[in-house]
Structure 1
Amino acid sequence: MLRKMASLPSGRVAKWVVVLLWTVLLVPALMLAGKLGDVEDNDNSAWLPGNAESTEVVDRAERFQPADTLPAIVIYDRPEGITSADMAKARADAEAFKGIENVVGQPQGPLKARDGKAIQTVVQIHKDKTGWEGIGKVVDAMSDVGEAKAGGLGFHVTGPAGQASDSIKAFSSGGGLTAVTASVVVLILLLTYRSPVLPLLPLLTVGGALATSEAVIYLLAKNAGLTVNKQTSFILTVLVFGAATDYALLLISRYREELRHHEDRHEAMARALHRSGPAIIASAATVAVSLMLLTLATLNSTQGLGPACAVGVLVGLLAMVTLMPALLVICGRWIFWPVKPSYGSAGAAGEGIWARVGTAVSGRPRIVWIGTALALGVMATGAFGLKADGLSGRDQFTDRPQTAVGEEIQSRHFPAGSGDPVYVVARSASAEQVKAALSGVPGVAAVSTPVVKDDEVFMLGELKEDPSSTAATRTVERARSAVHGIEGADAQVGGNTAVILDTQEAAARDSEVIIPVVLVLVFLILALLLRAIVAPLLLMATVVLSFGAALGVSGLVFDHVFHFAGAEASFPLLAFVFLVALGIDYNIFLVTRVREEALLHGTRRGALTGLSATGGVITSAGLVLAGTFAAMASLPLVFAAELGFAVAFGVLLDTMIVRSVLVTALTLDVGRWMWWPSKLFRQHDDPRPPTAGKPGLERAVRSV
């Protein structure tokens, strides 16, 4: 049955049908993919669940102020002192701001700083259906007004609206990210195959898979309520390029091997799909299931990221087991030019660096795996220093955009929390008690006069610290404790700082729930694939150890090399899901081949043959995946740079050390017990040396 299914994409007629179907599919897919940005929701509060306190405050505060507004803090500065002409310009600008589309209400200010060197005006911007895009246009229009004839007067738009504007500009380089990612893939494929033509087929197939994925995600976001944002878009790009290209590498490697044994390329592809298909499907299933578990998250942003990326992986899988085989068979052997695999020629299996690695590991496998595990454990200790409690507005970018400069100037001349207060809503009968409690909270600089409507009261609390800082979120925690203790007040604290706090708490909860579930389900997939219990347990242990080491090194690099202020609260969970799901891929590729060889020659010999046969393709796959995630550093965002570095480093660590050294040494040491309790466990190792002509493997097997 499996063999018949594997032969379908490579059939003499079927291959043309497959290409035709994909061509027809891509016409509407390309049209819909271009609309993905229309359904993105980049508002921070929209990422939270409806029962978050800050979300409930938005609903209760609608009668007191517009619900969908974001403050833009306009800062003017002149080091030698503000002049009367500067104040006149600031007042004229405030009037001009009112005429900009989506600016609502009366601007607050302009207010001159006590030291006389800066001016502040707060403008409320309506968040229309265009989200960040619309806010960016308003901020640009304000900048055109403020910078006109400034005469040396500094002008900056900061605050939440300024951060949103700079964020959308940073994400606007997504097209550049796609180009960088594609370039990385082409470069690695050129180095792998030394063919100027072959890399075009995986690139074409991946491009089709990405467009189709974006079309499906657009439809889900529009019709099924899936939350999609800019973060989802750029992660989807690198994931589809990396994972789908990995599947292509495994298929092409097996196809090239089969071309040496089959004169008919259709038979060779059918055989290659039959042999490599289970590993590719198991790999994609592991990644997709792990990503789908993100739907258990309370954060809407994380919840939406899972299904979107799972769609990308599954569409990439579909393209690589249908379109890619059809294109390869249509092109024929010449696609491998200048080194075409001819029928009857000998391959390079059993020779090269991975055969030598196997020989080295096989000498003392127990010492090797214990030493490697200890080294990884030491690396993992750096994770204790990772500060994943969120980033302030100025720390979210790798460069210094205008919002960061504006925040620095504002903090020097005005109270750091001015312009972006916390909101408190309570029962009107408790107005004075709530105000008194809020005024006594350390970190609250001032409390506004309560505004009463019907049975509700609304007031603002100005923070002493930067509203996006950790100190400010601690103030919100204290404020909530203070007002929640007032009996019958039904008081709640919201605002942008409260959104940040609720996001951090939701992210911590999501990690505690999702990580154990991911581990259990990935174990079950491995157990079904390998029909064993011991091997899946050992593989899971190696991947978790690899994740810990990657996280530990990342924490040290973020702090001491990149000098980042910290990491977003969702970073550990996303890094875990990507590293565990993608890292287990390479173990699947290796161990399925080891099991295949073990059925014929025994476990120890199978371990060395499997390492030698898959070493090159897995290394190339690791380089591709690491390269695509490293391309995320092209975005000027700390979150993108950190996630890209952690996944890239973790993949390389897993490819070069964990899979090749640790897993191989464990397999050699544990032997046939790897397959307990399957039938293979009861099969004793074949003591005979491997095939002649492979001296590296022969020495290795004899040594064990």
Structure 2
Amino acid sequence: MKTLARLQTGRISSWVVLAVAALVLGALFAMLPKGSGDSVPPSAAPDDADSSQVEELLQKFPDADQSLALVIIANSDEQEFSADQMKYVEGVTARLAEEAIAPQAVRPQLNKEKSAALIAVPVEGASQTESDAIVDQAQALRDLADEGKPSGVDAYLSGPVGFQADTVNAFAGADVRLLVVTASVVALLLILTYRSPVLWLVPLLVVATGDGLARFVVSAIAEEFDIPVDASIMGILSVLVFGAGTNYALLLIARYREGLLTHDDKREAMRQAVTGAGPAILASGSTVILSLLMLLFASLSGNRALGLACAIGSGIALAMSLLVLPAAVVVCGRGLFWPFIPRPDADRVAKPSIWGRVGQRVRKRPAVVAAATVAVLGVLTLGLLGAGIGLSQTDQLIGDPESVQGERVAADAFGSDYGTSLTVLAPADQADAAVSAAEDVEGVEKATVTGSAEGWSRLMVDLEAEAQSDAAFQAIRDLRETFADDADLKETLVGGQDALALDEADADADDRFLIIPLIVLVVFFVLVVLLRSLLAPVLLILTVLATFFASLGAGNFLFQNVLGFPAFDTRVVLYSFLFLVALGVDYNIFLTTRAREERDRHGTRDGMQEALSVTGGVITSAGIVLAAVFVVLGVLPVVALAQIGTIVCIGVLLDTLIVRTLLVPALAFLLGERFWWPAKRVSEERRTASSVAAS
């Protein structure tokens, strides 16, 4: 680290570093392909799941490219259709039939009250990557449904075509909005933090360049290896790069400013900043990267894609912060801090910071403070009572798109007659047996053979339960168990949208049970290496875990009781844990590495108090920046991302303002030198030598 610091701060070498960085970055920006990042998040269960195998086998059927549009027409007053309204329904049916693959199959289905009509329209399917085609197809169908529509009647486009189109429209330009809002939030908070009209530009430019490079690198790798990187992953990537990169910049510049108050030479001040803050930044970034790489062990391709993309982004943010930012800041000189330019002043009397005073109060009653903090976290954790995991398709988008409205209207109008359908593939010579076995399963209304190809028969199995409900999922499990128990039907596969949702939820649960312990082990290993202690890492991980459960509980209370979300999305628990533990431990790393450094001069208790005093301001600023940046995920129209952003925001604020400020110092004050067990106590001679060296 010392060699790197000398290279970055030399009178000539600092400019060389910037020139080389500019050339390398320019070449990469010119050579790498420019990915759009606008693709819609795909639905993909593990390859060995029934639903995935069904999707693959269906490609062999003649109508493999077929999709389905559902047009729902309903009387606004929920009364029986009038003669004019029925004429309109018949006209819509005729127009839609002309656009269908099988015109003879397009027939209106009326509910019992004859106040609503459901028209199923088989159409040519469009790939999820063909965004414009999806939107154009849906708009054409909507125009046909709206043509000649009389007053008192509402028409909705739903089904796979409607949901796909609304999802594409929701994501259109979302990554650009997210980038603009994220950069604006970071710029505003940097201005407020530095109180300078100039200084904020340098870290923002460096971090923004890192974000742009990360997006290009990830897009290139995704294109080369066919990795499913979509708009939501690119959004999380930008938030992570801006959040982590800004945190590293704040820590480095704070240490640099600290050095400028004691050194006439700005280059010496930066050398001390890099050698002092560099190991903590490197450890923090390594923790994030290694934690993200644990997602490569996940069974869901989306989880693996997120882990790879964000690990690359975190690595680039770390590199930009440690390699480029020091040289960029040092060549600008002290004037970068204008109007509050730090200069050495022998007569300056150091005033205790607000965080130093907080440390003094915590030190007086550490047991009371620790107990009170744990109690607060425990109360927040109680918010998890009644929490659920798993959202239906209609609950996954923010807002109320037409496809969701139509689904809701159809469910209300048709009641139990509006269930869900599964696609079952059975060996062709066992089709009749499969139909009979399926109809004997509780929750199955009927089963019908709808085609055959390549030795497989396709069955359409109608369920009595609503789509993606617990009853529907139980019926799918019962179907699979029934087929598995029959020697002749054990190769039968149950697929379809509800089966896909169930397989994704089960795979996500498996990923949580595997990945979460791996992340804990990674964080523990990094902390042991960094702090050269066993007890301190255990305590720090326990505090971060307590923060995670408290923020999850607070988030659940907010979502269910205030915002009306029925449950967490399946991805929320794993992603929130990942970001809260990997990023939340950063602040403990920043604090405890400084405390260990001060321990050599002052001992554990005085060292922790000094560390809290000098790092409190910058860590608080970094936490507020990171919390605000993750909230920006709500710009993307996905409930899962809004939930993740909110939970991470709550957790970061808890970690920054309560855990790092109160609980961790209280534990250090209580334990004294035992906090660093099994490290040896610092002798008086070593303290004296360290104090002399520091002075």
TM-score normalised by structure 2 residue count: 0.92
2:61 matched residue in structure 1: 64
- Give the alignment of 1:194-343 within 5 angstroms: 194-343=195-344
In the alignment, residue 201 of structure 1 is paired with which amino acid?
V
SS of the equivalent of 2:458 reads: strand
* 1:586 and 1:618 in contact (8 A); partners too: yes
SS of the equivalent of 1:228 reads: coil
* 1:113 and 1:413 in contact (8 A); partners too: no
Structure 1 Cα separation of the partners of residues 685 and 142 of structure 2: 76
* 1:603 and 1:685 in contact (8 A); partners too: no
Taking structure 1 as reference, are residues 555 and 38 closer, same or farther at Cα in structure 2, changes over 3 Å only?
Answer: closer
Please, which of 84, 87, 91 is the counterpart of residue 85 of structure 1? 87
In the TM superposition, what whole-angstrom CA distance separates every residue of 1:183-228 from its partner, at most 9, and x where no partner exists? 2112211221111121111211111011110111112111133331
Counterpart check, 1:635 vs 2:633: no
Taking structure 1 as reference, are residues 454 and 417 closer, same or farther at Cα in structure 2, changes over 3 Å only?
Answer: farther
Structure 2 Cα separation of the partners of residues 583 and 177 of structure 1: 22
SS of the equivalent of 1:446 reads: strand
1:669 matched residue in structure 2: 670
* 1:554 and 1:646 in contact (8 A); partners too: yes
SS of the equivalent of 1:63 reads: coil
- Give the alignment of 1:87-166 within 5 angstroms: 87-98=89-100, 108-114=105-111, 115-119=113-117, 120-128=119-127, 130-132=129-131, 134-152=133-151, 153-166=153-166
- Give the alignment of 1:296-445 within 5 angstroms: 296-344=297-345, 351-388=352-389, 390-414=390-414, 421-445=421-445
Q: Is the deviation greater in 85-94 or in 445-454?
A: 445-454
Structure 1 Cα separation of the partners of residues 104 and 189 of structure 2: 54
Q: Percent identity?
A: 36
* 1:293 and 1:306 in contact (8 A); partners too: yes
Offset at residue 131 of structure 1 (A): 4.7
1:101 matched residue in structure 2: none
* 2:162 and 2:403 in contact (8 A); partners too: yes
Q: Is the deviation greater in 474-483 or in 297-306?
A: 474-483
Structure 2 Cα separation of the partners of residues 458 and 263 of structure 1: 80
Q: Is the deviation greater in 54-63 or in 676-685?
A: 676-685
* 1:349 and 1:612 in contact (8 A); partners too: no
1:488 matched residue in structure 2: 488
* 2:39 and 2:230 in contact (8 A); partners too: yes
Counterpart check, 1:463 vs 2:463: yes
SS of the equivalent of 2:198 reads: coil
SS of the equivalent of 1:391 reads: coil
Residue correspondences, number: 681
Offset at residue 54 of structure 1 (A): 0.5
In the TM superposition, what whole-angstrom CA distance separates every residue of 1:650-687 from its partner, at most 9, and x where no partner exists? 00000000001000000111111122222456679979
Taking structure 1 as reference, are residues 350 and 61 closer, same or farther at Cα in structure 2, changes over 3 Å only?
Answer: same
* 1:415 and 1:464 in contact (8 A); partners too: no
Structure 2 Cα separation of the partners of residues 161 and 11 of structure 1: 61
Taking structure 1 as reference, are residues 345 and 515 closer, same or farther at Cα in structure 2, changes over 3 Å only?
Answer: farther
Structure 2 Cα separation of the partners of residues 586 and 461 of structure 1: 53
Structure 1 Cα separation of the partners of residues 526 and 370 of structure 2: 24
* 1:174 and 1:234 in contact (8 A); partners too: yes
Structure 1 Cα separation of the partners of residues 580 and 640 of structure 2: 16
SS of the equivalent of 1:235 reads: helix
Offset at residue 246 of structure 1 (A): 0.3
2:48 matched residue in structure 1: 51
* 1:39 and 1:228 in contact (8 A); partners too: no
SS of the equivalent of 2:336 reads: helix
Taking structure 1 as reference, are residues 465 and 611 closer, same or farther at Cα in structure 2, changes over 3 Å only?
Answer: same
Counterpart check, 1:37 vs 2:39: no
Structure 2 Cα separation of the partners of residues 617 and 432 of structure 1: 70
1:700 matched residue in structure 2: none
SS of the equivalent of 1:9 reads: helix
* 1:391 and 1:469 in contact (8 A); partners too: no
Structure 2 Cα separation of the partners of residues 55 and 194 of structure 1: 55
Structure 2 Cα separation of the partners of residues 14 and 403 of structure 1: 60
The gaps in structure 1 that reach 5 residues or longer are 99-103, 692-704
SS of the equivalent of 1:237 reads: helix
In the TM superposition, what whole-angstrom CA distance separates every residue of 1:134-178 from its partner, at most 9, and x where no partner exists? 423322332233334434442222123322222222222222122
* 1:180 and 1:631 in contact (8 A); partners too: yes
Structure 1 Cα separation of the partners of residues 27 and 103 of structure 2: 46
* 2:96 and 2:141 in contact (8 A); partners too: no
SS of the equivalent of 1:561 reads: helix
Q: Is the deviation greater in 272-281 or in 220-229?
A: 220-229
Structure 2 Cα separation of the partners of residues 684 and 371 of structure 1: 37
Taking structure 1 as reference, are residues 560 and 469 closer, same or farther at Cα in structure 2, changes over 3 Å only?
Answer: same
Structure 2 Cα separation of the partners of residues 460 and 513 of structure 1: 35
Structure 2 Cα separation of the partners of residues 306 and 492 of structure 1: 30
Q: Is the deviation greater in 482-491 or in 294-303?
A: 482-491
Structure 1 Cα separation of the partners of residues 582 and 189 of structure 2: 22
Taking structure 1 as reference, are residues 416 and 330 closer, same or farther at Cα in structure 2, changes over 3 Å only?
Answer: farther
Taking structure 1 as reference, are residues 324 and 353 closer, same or farther at Cα in structure 2, changes over 3 Å only?
Answer: same
Structure 1 Cα separation of the partners of residues 69 and 563 of structure 2: 30
In the alignment, residue 203 of structure 1 is paired with which amino acid?
L
Offset at residue 395 of structure 1 (A): 1.3
Structure 1 Cα separation of the partners of residues 357 and 176 of structure 2: 42
In the TM superposition, what whole-angstrom CA distance separates every residue of 1:608-641 from its partner, at most 9, and x where no partner exists? 0000000000000000000001112233321121
* 1:10 and 1:326 in contact (8 A); partners too: yes
Offset at residue 323 of structure 1 (A): 2.0
In the alignment, residue 127 of structure 2 is paired with which amino acid?
D
In the TM superposition, what whole-angstrom CA distance separates every residue of 1:254-293 from its partner, at most 9, and x where no partner exists? 1111112222222221221111000001000001100110
Q: Is the deviation greater in 65-74 or in 367-376?
A: 65-74
Taking structure 1 as reference, are residues 296 and 534 closer, same or farther at Cα in structure 2, changes over 3 Å only?
Answer: same
Q: Is the deviation greater in 441-450 or in 531-540?
A: 441-450
Taking structure 1 as reference, are residues 384 and 516 closer, same or farther at Cα in structure 2, changes over 3 Å only?
Answer: farther
1:75 matched residue in structure 2: 72
Offset at residue 533 of structure 1 (A): 0.8
SS of the equivalent of 2:8 reads: coil
**CA-based RMSD:** 2.6
The gaps in structure 2 that reach 5 residues or longer are none
* 1:33 and 1:215 in contact (8 A); partners too: yes
Q: Is the deviation greater in 363-372 or in 613-622?
A: 363-372
* 1:72 and 1:162 in contact (8 A); partners too: yes
1:24 matched residue in structure 2: 23
In the alignment, residue 564 of structure 1 is paired with which amino acid?
F
Offset at residue 39 of structure 1 (A): 9.0
1:603 matched residue in structure 2: 604
Counterpart check, 1:475 vs 2:475: yes
Taking structure 1 as reference, are residues 372 and 139 closer, same or farther at Cα in structure 2, changes over 3 Å only?
Answer: same
* 1:433 and 1:486 in contact (8 A); partners too: no
Offset at residue 417 of structure 1 (A): 7.9
